[in-house]
Amino acid sequence: MDSTHDVYVPEGTFGVLDAGEIPVQTADWGNGLAVPMSQGALVVTGIHTGTVRATATALVGPPVASVHASWEEIVEVGLRVTTGLLRVESLGHGPVDGLAPLSPAGPGWYRLRVHARGRNILPDKVSTEPVEDYLLVTWPAAPSDADIIRSSDRIDHALAHASDMPEPQPPAPTRGAEQEALRRRLLRG
């Protein structure tokens, strides 16, 4: 059963994060709403700081129902989950209690559909009362590119200026990978 909870938003984003990891250097900011990273994603809000309402739903396959007309913007992205602990998180307060985990099939690839409404009500302002709503839906799926299902002026602007955004960087190697590379160099002489 879906439930809706408030999410605190600092600096215009909240997360759909895998065990709290935020590899922001790998972020693809291209569509201006759903920002996939090497693991997990960020969601770009209209407000700068404050509270939004979010609902999270994990499915076993793609949604079968049509998209309700009340959603102003809808974007889907491929999402890599390495630990299987995908949750909606405030970047200031951590996981949002009461919202469903979004990776019930464990580690692997998922599709994340972000529905949004209200992002133009108080752009870049502070809002202690929620004026924006988000529906976050995931399901296991093969890796794939972003898909704009319902666009808006904000998304169109982000797409037009995507070339101005920094290119996503490959994830930094883990300490174990760095040590293995050093070991190989030493063995080669």
pLDDT tens digits, one per residue of 175-184:
455 555 544 4
**β-pair type (49-58, 4-9):** antiparallel
pLDDT tens digits, one per residue of 59-109:
999 998 888 899 999 999 999 999 999 999 999 999 999 998 999 999 999
Element (H, E) at 31: none
Total domains present in the chain: 1
Residue 158 belongs to domain spanning: 4-188
CA 188 remoteness from chain centre: 42
HSE of 108, CA atoms in CB hemisphere, 13 A = 12
